[in-house]
């Protein structure tokens, strides 16, 4: 089997600090839906769960992989995971929509290219 030259997509991890509305399941649902539309992603299923006494988790299963949000309202924090194997998708736009939805004061961002095979130990590419 031939390896994919560009791996298996892009993965963005966002940590949203001092975020707003982190205990709103309606906001999480709306943000995930809008993020899929803006990033040109095909939404397959959207699941949002409100925890008691607080916190929300939402997952958008997309044809291209997933977007997940987990919130900790007591810390005004949201963890966001955006992964798409569709090279035509605009997951930077997805990240912008989710960032705007929570209006954080600080954002930590990590971006990964998934599926880049490393050479075996002792070998170089």
> Residue ranges of the domains in the chain?
10-110
Lookup result for tokens 């798409």: 84
Supply the CATH classification number for the domain 10-110. 3.60.90.10
The whole-model pTM stands at 0.86
Percent of the chain with pLDDT over 90: 74
- Report the phi/psi class of residue 37: left, alpha or beta, with left for phi > 0 and alpha for psi in -120 to 50: alpha
Asked if residues 28 and 80 have their Cβ atoms less than 8 Å apart, the reply is no
* End-to-end Cα distance, the chain: 19
Average pLDDT, the chain: 90
Q: What is the pLDDT of residue 87?
A: 79
Catalytic residue numbers?
A: 65, 70, 85
- 13-38 average pLDDT score: 97
The pLDDT-based confidence of 1 (bands split at 50, 70, 90) is very low
- Let me know if 51 is exposed, middle or buried by CB neighbors in 10 A (0-12, 13-18, 19+): middle
pLDDT-based confidence at residue 123 (cuts at 50, 70, 90): low
| pLDDT digit string, tens, across residues 36-94 | 999 999 999 999 999 999 999 999 999 989 999 999 999 999 999 999 988 788 999 99
Q: What's the average model confidence in pLDDT over 108-117?
A: 85
């Amino acid at each position: 089997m031939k390896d994919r030259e560009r791996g298996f997509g892009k993965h963005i991890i966002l940590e949203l600090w001092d975020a707003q509305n982190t205990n709103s399941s309606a906001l999480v649902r709306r943000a995930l839906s809008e993020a899929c539309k803006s990033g040109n992603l095909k939404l397959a299923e959207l699941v949002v769960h409100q925890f008691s006494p607080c916190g929300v988790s939402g997952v958008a299963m997309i044809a291209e992989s997933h977007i997940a949000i987990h919130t900790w309202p007591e810390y005004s924090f949201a963890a966001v995971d955006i992964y798409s194997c569709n090279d035509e998708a605009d997951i930077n736009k997805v990240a912008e929509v989710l960032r705007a939805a929570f209006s954080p004061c600080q954002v930590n961002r990590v971006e990964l290219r998934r599926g880049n095979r490393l050479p075996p130990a002792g070998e170089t590419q």
